Amino acid sequence: MHSPLQSASPPLDNPPDTIHSAEASIAEKRIGERIRRLRLKRSMGLVELGRQTGLSASFLSQLETGRVVPTLRNLARIAMVFGRDLSYFFEPEPHPLFRLHRHTDRVRLPQSGVDAPTYFFESLAWMVPERQLDPYYAEFLPVRNPSDVRPHVHPGYEFLYVLEGELEIRHGDRTHSLETGDSVYFDAGTPHAYRCCAQMPAVALIVTMHQPMPQPTLRPVPMPSSHPASPASDSEGQA
C-alpha cells in the first residue's frame, strides 16, 4: 500500500526506507512546533505565512498543533519562506545552551600589551561557543599617574558595574568617576580607559556586547544639469 504522502512528494534519490522515515518524522508534533517557533521568531502571523506559502491559515494552525500531516512539498514551501533547508525539520533538535562556570574554573589574566598591567580580569563565559557577549570579573589596581592608563577600542558596546571601590572611566575626551553600585553603558568603538584612583583596588563586572560596525550607506550624488536654465525660470525665481 502506497503512503498518501508519496504522491505529493518531490522526486528524491533516497531509498524507500529513508522516505518512510522522513514521513514518520513529519507526523511527529515537534515538526509543527519548529514551524511555530520559526514563525514567531519572525513575528509573522498565520495569514502572512499562508500568503507566502499558498497554504491556508487554518491548515497551518492545525499543522503547528500536530493535527494534520504536511506533504514534503508543503514542508519545503515553509522552509523556503524562512530560508531553511528541508533537512532542518528532520535533524535532531539542538539542546538549549546552558554553561555552568565554577569560580574554581576561572583563570586570572593580566592586562595585555603592557609591562605593568593596571588591571587583571577573569572571563566568566570562556567555555561558551559562539557567544554574543563576554562577561568579565575585573580587578583594577591603584594608579597614581594617569599617563600609565592606555585607552583601547573594540566593536560593539560595553557595560560596567562597580562591585567594590572607586573607578574612573575616560570615554573619548570626558572623564567620569564611579563608586560602588554605579554602572555605565557606552559605545566601545570610542577610545576608553579605566583608572583606579583610590588607595584600594576596585572590582567591577564588565560585559562586552559584540555588534558589527555599521556599513556606510552610499547614496547617489545628483549630477548638475548640463542644460542652462531657461529665461522663463530665471524670471520666475526673481519674482
Residue 169: exposed, middle, or buried by beta-carbon count in 10 A (0-12, 13-18, 19+)? buried
| Set of cell numbers at residue 228 | 542652462
Residue 237 placed within a domain: no
Residue 25 placed within a domain: yes
Domain count, the chain: 2
Cα–Cα dist 167/111, whole Å: 16
Residue 173 placed within a domain: yes
CATH number of the domain residue 78 falls in: 1.10.260.40
Across the range 203-223, mean pLDDT stands at 68
| pLDDT for res 18 | 54
Among 32-36, 167-171, 229-233, the least confident range: 229-233
Contacts of residue 73, Cβ cutoff 8 Å, sequence gap at least 6: 8, 9, 10
| pLDDT for res 225 | 53
Residue 64 placed within a domain: yes
Cα–Cα dist 181/96, whole Å: 32
Per-residue pLDDT tens over the stretch 123-144: 999 888 778 899 999 999 998 8
Residue 107 placed within a domain: yes
Cα–Cα dist 180/4, whole Å: 68
Residue 231 placed within a domain: no
With cut-offs at 50, 70 and 90, classify the pLDDT of residue 8: very low
Cα–Cα dist 40/234, whole Å: 58
The model carries a pTM of: 0.55
Per-residue pLDDT tens over the stretch 181-194: 999 999 999 999 99
Domain coverage including residue 74: 6-89
Residue 154 placed within a domain: yes
Distances (CA, A) of 6 to 13, 20, 24, 100: 13, 9, 12, 46
